[in-house]
Amino acid sequence: MPKIGRYILAQFDEEGVIVYQAYRPAIGHFAATHGYFGGDHFSLNRMSWIKPNFLWMMYRSGWGQKEGQEVVLAVKIKREAFDIILTNAVWSTYNLIVPSETIYPVTDVKVVAQLQISGDAILLPNGNTNE
């Protein structure tokens, strides 16, 4: 792992990047069964956190025990789409690396962008973080 700077650790190939998302059972089971997101409970208006680190997603979802986060799926996003997500995202908290004119209070983020970047630590297999 790099010792300094911002970086993303993810499983990827020339086609795409694997990210993980936690869902309520109705959504997760539908997607796993049908190979796409849909069904009565799925909504494109739902806030969804994607994480490229499986252990971090498991930790954030309470190891699949938090209500509404019981099913964790690996989702392959096309590389071009992943790059667009990063290009159009804003930081969810103040970040010294990003010029101040691009920083918005978290309460205003939904007005400015529908995508937020969260600078999470890397969760290691032993339960420690890289910070």
The pLDDT of residue 106 is: 44
Q: Residues 17-36: pLDDT tens digits?
A: 999 999 999 999 999 999 99
Which has the closest alpha carbon to 95: 121, 111, 117? 117
Q: Residues 35-58: pLDDT tens digits?
A: 999 999 999 887 777 888 888 889
Q: pTM here?
A: 0.72
Q: Label the pairing between strands 71-78 and 90-91.
A: unpaired
Q: Is residue 95 predicted with pLDDT exceeding 70?
A: no
Q: Residues 60-84: pLDDT tens digits?
A: 899 999 999 999 999 999 999 888 8
Three-point CA angle 6, 20, 128, nearest 5°: 55
Contacts of 131 (CB under 8 A, 6+ apart): 121
* Alpha-helical regions (H) of 7-130: 25-34, 54-60, 79-88, 109-112
Q: Is residue 100 predicted with pLDDT exceeding 70?
A: no
Q: Give me the residue spans of the domains in the chain.
A: 1-78, 89-120
The pLDDT of residue 109 is: 40
Rg (CA), the chain: 16
* Better-predicted residue by pLDDT, 7 or 104: 7
* Confidence grade of residue 117 (pLDDT, cut at 50, 70, 90): low
The pLDDT of residue 131 is: 59
* Better-predicted residue by pLDDT, 15 or 99: 15
d(CA 50, CA 121): 14
